[in-house]
Structure formats: C-alpha cells, structure tokens
Amino acid sequence: MEFNIGERYRLEIRWQKAIYNQNGESKLVGCCFTGPVIKEVDSLNEEDSMSLDFFNQYRIFVPSYYIANLSWRGVRFAENKIELDNVKLKNKYINSVPKLKNDDFIVVDTSNHTEEKHHLFLTYPAYLLRFDGELYKF
C-alpha cells in the first residue's frame, strides 16, 4: 500500500509520548502539527477535533471502518509547528490495532479541506508512519 499526498497539503501529527490509560483512548503528550500545510493556517480553535480516517491502513484489524477522533484543548503557534495541549486519540478499536510508538507519526491529507471543499468531506485520510518515514504495512 502506498499513499500520495501533495506536499502543500501534508499535515504531520507528532508526539513525544503515547499513553494508553483508558480503553478506546490514547493520550498524546507533547503533540504538535507540522508540515507544509501549517504555513496556510491562520488560526485554530483552542478546543477542537478532527476525524482521521485510517481505514486503508487498518482494515485488516477491525471489522468495519477505522475513524479515530483527534481532539485537543489548548493551541500555541510556534516556529514551523502548532503545539497542542490535552490531546486525545479516540476510537472503540484503539486497543485492537498496533499501539502508537513514541517516535511514530501520522501523515494527514488535507487537500479536501480547503475553504471551498471542507463542508463536503467529514474525515481526513490519515496514515501511520514509522520514525524513519516508512509507512506501516500491516
């Protein structure tokens, strides 16, 4: 499985530590958004979420779609990144798929979330990558 995302629309979600304390939820400590698309972000809600569609990568693990909700409470704009506080990744199958490692990261395709198209698309295609940028091929 390969994925192709134009550089302009590439969003990366990175974290320092993934903690699994609760069933169906992982807390991402030291989480931030990076990647070329953040240059186009003027503002971000202090408290918000986005639905990440991992179906193409995780379909062998779960009986139906795998859409995880990434939520945050707290935003700080820094050079070349957006730092997020109180970040949680939730899905009822989160403990049925391989656990996130601290040096993994998620790549998100934001191409369908421009001002004109955002209302037509409810989820963001997302892919889990290893520390070295290789796509996990489960």
List the chain domain ranges: 7-129
Residues 8-54 have pLDDT tens digits of 889 999 999 999 988 899 999 999 999 999 988 888 999 999 999 99
CA-to-CA dists, residue 6 to 62, 69, 101, 107, angstroms: 28, 23, 25, 11
| Angstrom distance (rounded) from CA 125 to CA 137 | 16
Residues 76-104 have pLDDT tens digits of 999 899 999 999 999 998 888 889 999 99
**In one letter, which amino acid is 53?**
D
Q: What is the pLDDT of residue 120?
A: 65
Ramachandran angles phi, psi of 3, nearest 5°: -135, 150
Q: Across the chain, where does the E strand assignment appear?
A: 10-14, 17-22, 25-29, 32-34, 47-53, 67-73, 75-78, 81-84, 87-90, 105-109, 124-129
**In one letter, which amino acid is 19?**
I
Q: Which of 43, 52, 38, 42 is nearest to 8 (CA)?
A: 38
Tokens of residue 72, six digits:
């945050």
Q: What is the pLDDT of residue 70?
A: 98
For the entire predicted model, the pTM comes to 0.89
The pLDDT confidence band at residue 1, using thresholds 50, 70 and 90, is very low
| Statement: residue 71 has pLDDT above 80 | yes
